[in-house]
Amino acid sequence: MDKTLVTGANGLVGCAIRKLDLPNFEYVTHEDVDLTDFEKTKYIFETIKPTRVIHLAAVVGGIGGNIMHSGEYFRSNVMINTNVLECSRICGVKKLISFMSTCVFPDQCSYPLNEKDIHNGPPHPSNFGYAYAKRMLEVQSSAYRKEWNCNYIVAIPTNIYGPNDNWSLEDGHVMPSLIHRCFIAKKHKLDLTVWGSGKPLREFVFSVDIAKLAVWALDNYNEDSPIIFSSGVEISIKELVEIVTAEMKFKGKIIFDSSKPDGQFRKPSDTTKFKKYCPDFEFTSIERGVKETVNWFESNYPNVRI
Ligand code: GFB
């Protein structure tokens, strides 16, 4: 029977995979092992002896974190990915899935973003370090497939959100930062300040959906080329603010702070390949996902990751 190792198991998707309660899955977190260290990574692989790997571990952040820490995000992610893929290879892992993000796509690109376009130009400047590090996952997986016949596949999810996120106000992604900001504004009867103009568009996807799709891909997807996981539904940041404030019953004033970055205006993804493979997959609606995420945050605050 296969043994599946999940890296980054305390993160957003890692926690969602744990909840699926699948047999013969083992989980490692950054507290168990420093994956930037090759020898420590190798030790974990030699001890656990996985036959399959879901590689989720990464140093990530929202637009603020990416702008502030582009060097750190590049360095750590290149080291983590290089070590995990190399240790998988030398320890005989049969199948590995890793994750990029739609921010890997070129800033100047025809829409919708298609899997074949990831290397056709530089990424948006706000994601420079992280996006190039993530692109190398696809390069390494493909090179390993060519030389050593490794069945390593790569998925490209859109903006993931859900319970167990990082709720940092400065470094987090928009969904957790916004929920946290709204919570504070409501509690202290303050205005709610939202970064940017509210006009950029994003495709949000619930972590539980990505957890299910990670397992599906591990079982069923074997192409060298990546696969985008997306509902194809775009909403503006302003619409997201309306959904979050309605769910949190925030009645105060909302201010859009244009001194903060908007980032890429939109990154709509091509769902053709995904729909060919999974025509019947039902994504969680944004209203339902936000409800579950807000409930989780309010029940766990202040013991949340920041
Ligand atoms: O989640 P976020 O940082 O991801 O969203 P990106 C940024 C958008 O949300 C911008 C607006 O248009 C921001 O102006 N926004 C509004 C906020 N309020 C906030 C807030 O409180 N925090 C944040 N962070 N944004 C990330 C990449 O880009 O996408 C990562 O930087 C990763 O590398 C991730 O790929 C999926 O979609 O802009």
Pick the CATH number of 4-160+202-229 from 1.10.220.150, 3.40.50.720, 3.40.50.300, 3.40.50.970: 3.40.50.720
Assess if CATH 3.90.25.10 describes domain 166-201+235-265+285-300: yes
How much is the pLDDT for 200? 97
Using one digit for the tens of pLDDT, what is the confidence trace for 283-295? 999 999 999 999 9
| Domain ranges (residues) in the chain | 4-160+202-229, 166-201+235-265+285-300
Q: How confident is the model at residue 217 (pLDDT cuts 50, 70, 90)?
A: very high
Using one digit for the tens of pLDDT, what is the confidence trace for 30-45? 999 999 999 999 999 9
The average pLDDT across 159-171 equals 95
Is any atom of ligand 1 closer than 6 Å to the C-beta of 167? no
The average pLDDT across 207-218 equals 98
For ligand 1, atom 28, name the residue with the nearest CA.
Answer: 63
Same fold, 4-160+202-229 and 166-201+235-265+285-300: no
27 is catalytic: no
Among 27, 73, 130, 144, the active-site one is: 130
Q: What DSSP letter does each residue of the chain carry, written as one string?
A: ---EEEESTTSHHHHHHHHH--TTEEEE-TTT--TTSHHHHHHHHHHH--SEEEE-------HHHHHHTHHHHHHHHHHHHHHHHHHHHHTT-SEEEEE--GGGSBSS-PSSB-GGGTTSSPBPGGGHHHHHHHHHHHHHHHHHHHHH--EEEEEEE-EEE-TT----TTTS-HHHHHHHHHHHHHHTT-PEEEES-S--EE-EEEHHHHHHHHHHHHHH---SS-EEE-----EEHHHHHHHHHHHTT--S-EEEETTS---SS---B--HHHHHH-TT--PPPHHHHHHHHHHHHHHHTTSS--
The average pLDDT across 32-61 equals 97
